Amino acid sequence: MKCPDIQAIKQIALLSKYIFFPGYFEPCPTEEHLLANYLTVRKQQLRLVLCDQITVEQADAFLAAMPEIERLLKTDVEAMIANDPAAVDNRDEVIYCYPFIQAIINYRVAHCLHMLGVRIIPRILTERAHTLTGIDIHPGAQIGEYFAIDHGTGVVIGETCIIGNHVTLYQGVTLGAKNFQTDEHGNMINQPRHPILEDYVTVYSNATLLGRITIGHHSIIGGNQWLTHSVPPHSRIILNNTGFN
């Protein structure tokens, strides 16, 4: 297997940002026909970089998937606006300023590559975002549309997590594994071991959810909770003076 080129991977992340959010991370023309030409050139550049790191078939499959990745990213921006009063109707502020955007761009690019069978490069992409933002999302996690992470620092999303649509997390949330199974030789078995969050779930800051549990749709998990069991839809797991609600 060819060793990944770190500079090339940085270029993949950068070119992807240029294509998904034209005009935000470098100047580009605003006239429709000139913008189309700009995007065509950037995609050609991205393809060349990709083809030097992965197979031509994988590169072309990734480029074919870019419109869907872009659609998902636009829903993530809208979710962030909808969940943060400080960013009401301010798409520019969210894209320019929120660390979540850098993390979700890298994740969605990495997840697509991961699903195409690309090795190591997806992890490098998400770990670069982790280093820059404090948001640690494994490229194998499955995340739906309209996803938002407010503040973001210290969030961990494990490899086998499944996250539905319209889910919001806050800083310090861990979606982790409770334990690891091993085979007869003591080798760890890679199997589903992280939480499933159904649609319209909100998890507040510093909550820890461990194991292959399911958080039912429209549930709220309060801050500082430690949860290792599934909860039904419309649950409210909060700690008050009398215990859990």
Query: What is the CA 240 to chain-centroid distance, rounded?
Result: 32
Q: Which residue has the tokens 């320019």?
A: 96
Amino acid identity, position 159: E
Tokens of 114: 């991961």
DSSP assignment letter at 231: B
Whole-number Cα distances in Å, 174 to 30, 79, 212: 41, 20, 13
Task: Give the pLDDT confidence of 59-116 residue by residue, as tens digits.
Answer: 999 999 999 999 999 999 999 999 888 877 689 999 999 999 999 999 999 999 999 9
What is the distance between the alpha carbons of residues 226 and 154, in angstroms, rounded to a whole number?
Answer: 16
- Listed as ranges, residues in the chain with pLDDT below 70 are 1, 89, 240-245
CATH of domain 6-244: 1.10.3130.10
Task: Give the pLDDT confidence of 47-60 residue by residue, as tens digits.
Answer: 999 999 999 999 99
